[in-house]
Each structure stands twice: as structure tokens, then as C-alpha cells.
């Protein structure tokens, strides 16, 4: 199977995602420039972390108008799995492919460290290889990861089981103390109603080998391989 990693001007985790898909998982992978419109026959699309278009105006606000995004939207509409990581999550929010928005972290801190994240849902293409309530250690690196949605949207997300990841402690306990950035309901990642588009602030692609401090993120990308294998069977 093939991963396409979109490269925006200012992306900085694009090669990490490419490396994780190709060298760690041993799958085909391609880097796709944001001005292209061809996803090169990919089975999975990743919008990587970074500061697309300098994060000018708002994070992800300009990137959503990049030519490749129409192809990503069409790919998602056909049910194709799309993963937005950090800045990629912010792009999906601005593009309206996921509900809600990001505001500055509370306490104004740029948070850059390895954090425990609890997997809430295992029926998405990026968590199907996880166990329910599994705690994954993945790095975060963001100044604007404070997830916000109006009360109706938030209630719908919870009711439809669209909250896929929450900031937790090592024991998997979700509390205000484990909330690293002020996100509503400790939300670290969500999916769309169809469950094929997933966005999360932590970086699974930077935690795929023990030498990096954690290999827990590997299961996120391995899930996509598993999900597609079960589809083609």
C-alpha cells in the first residue's frame, strides 16, 4: 500500500512521516507538493506537522486553499483514510473536514514533550490496531492545540464517539491535571462522522522507534495498513 504525505511550504514533519511509512513500516510512500493535484494513487493521505504557510493569519487557514486540498477532500469523500497530524489537524479543522477550531494553549506555553494519550475509539483506520483505552506515549510540539467547539458540536462529537484520543496520565486517567493545553474534554484527536478522517495533535510519526524515546506511535500508522488489508480481503 502507499502513503502520500502532503508537503506545504513550512511543513517540518513531512519527512518524519515519510520515513515512518517507508523505512519503519516498509510501505510505499510519496511526498506530494501542495501545488500538485495528483495524490499519486495513494491509499492513505497524511497532512504532516509544521507551520504551513508560516501559520499566517491562523494555523492552517491558508493551507486549506492549497491546490492539493481539493484532491484530499475528494479522496476523503470517497472514504479514503486521511490523517492530520498537529498542523495537519489544524488544516483539517480550517478546511471544515473536521469540526471545531484551535486556539492558543491556555497558560500561553508552547508545549513540547512526550505525553500519554488514551485511545478512545478503535474503529477508525488509524486506531484499528490499538486496544481500547490503550495509553500511547507520543510527543507533542504546539502552541495552538487548545481544542474548541461550541457546546452543541462538542455534545455531538461525544455522542457519535468521534473523540478518538484524550490527554491522560500514565495510568490512562483523564483529568484536568492531564490536560496539557486547555482542550475541551481533554481532546487530543477526533474523527469525522464517517470516521475515515482523523486529526490529532500528538506526533505518532516521531515515536516509531525506541531510539526516539517511544515507539508507541507506530501502531497509528500500522493501523492504516491493517485497515486497508482488511478492506482488500
Choose the catalytic residue: 27, 53, 86, 120. 86
Closest CB to another protein among residues 100, 125: 100
For residue 222, the surrounding DSSP H or E stretch is: helix 218-232
Give the shortest CB-58-to-another protein separation in angstroms.
6
Determine the Cα–Cα distance for residues 213 and 198; give it in Å rounded to an integer: 24
Closest approach, Cβ 193 to another protein, in A, equals 17
Nearer Cβ to another protein (138/154):
154
The dihedrals phi and psi of 163, each to the nearest 5 degrees, come to -85, 115
The DSSP 8-state label assigned to residue 109 in this structure reads P
Residue found under cell 473536514: 97
Cell numbers placing 188:
487530543
86 is catalytic: yes
142 is catalytic: no
Residue with cell 514533550: 113
Residues that bind another protein (CB under 8 A): 57-58, 61, 93-94, 99-101, 103-108, 146, 148-150, 182
C-alpha cell at 165: 484520543
CB of 75 to another protein, least distance (A): 23
Q: Which is nearer to another protein, 2 or 104 (CB)?
A: 104
Sign of CA dihedral 116, 203, 10, 71: negative
- 152 part of the active site: no
Nearer to another protein, 101 or 117 (CB): 101
Active site amino acids: 86, 203, 205
Amino acid at each position: 500500500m502507499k502513503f502520500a504525505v502532503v508537503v506545504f511550504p513550512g511543513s517540518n514533519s513531512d519527512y518524519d512521516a515519510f520515513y515512518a511509512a517507508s523505512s519503519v513500516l516498509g510501505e510505499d510512500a510519496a511526498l506530494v507538493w501542495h501545488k500538485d493535484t495528483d495524490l499519486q494513487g495513494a491509499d492513505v493521505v497524511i497532512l504532516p506537522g509544521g507551520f504551513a504557510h508560516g501559520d499566517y493569519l491562523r494555523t492552517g487557514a491558508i493551507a486549506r486553499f492549497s491546490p492539493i486540498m481539493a484532491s484530499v477532500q475528494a479522496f476523503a469523500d470517497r472514504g479514503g483514510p486521511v490523517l492530520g497530524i498537529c498542523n495537519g489537524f489544524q488544516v483539517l479543522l480550517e478546511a471544515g473536514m473536521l469540526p471545531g477550531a484551535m486556539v492558543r494553549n491556555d497558560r500561553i506555553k508552547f508545549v513540547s514533550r512526550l505525553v500519554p494519550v488514551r485511545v478512545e475509539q478503535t474503529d477508525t483506520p488509524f486506531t484499528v490496531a490499538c486496544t481500547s483505552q490503550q495509553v500511547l506515549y507520543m510527543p507533542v510540539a504546539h502552541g495552538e492545540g487548545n481544542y474548541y467547539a461550541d457546546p452543541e458540536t462538542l455534545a455531538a462529537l461525544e455522542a457519535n464517539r468521534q473523540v478518538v484520543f484524550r490527554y491522560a496520565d500514565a495510568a490512562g486517567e483523564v483529568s484536568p491535571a492531564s490536560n496539557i493545553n486547555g482542550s475541551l474534554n481533554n481532546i487530543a484527536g477526533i474523527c469525522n462522522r464517517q470516521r475515515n478522517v482523523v486529526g490529532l495533535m500528538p506526533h505518532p510519526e516521531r515515536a516509531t522507534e525506541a531510539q526516539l524515546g517511544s515507539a508507541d506511535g507506530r501502531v497509528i500508522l500500522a493501523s492504516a495498513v491493517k485497515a486497508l488489508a482488511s478492506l482488500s480481503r
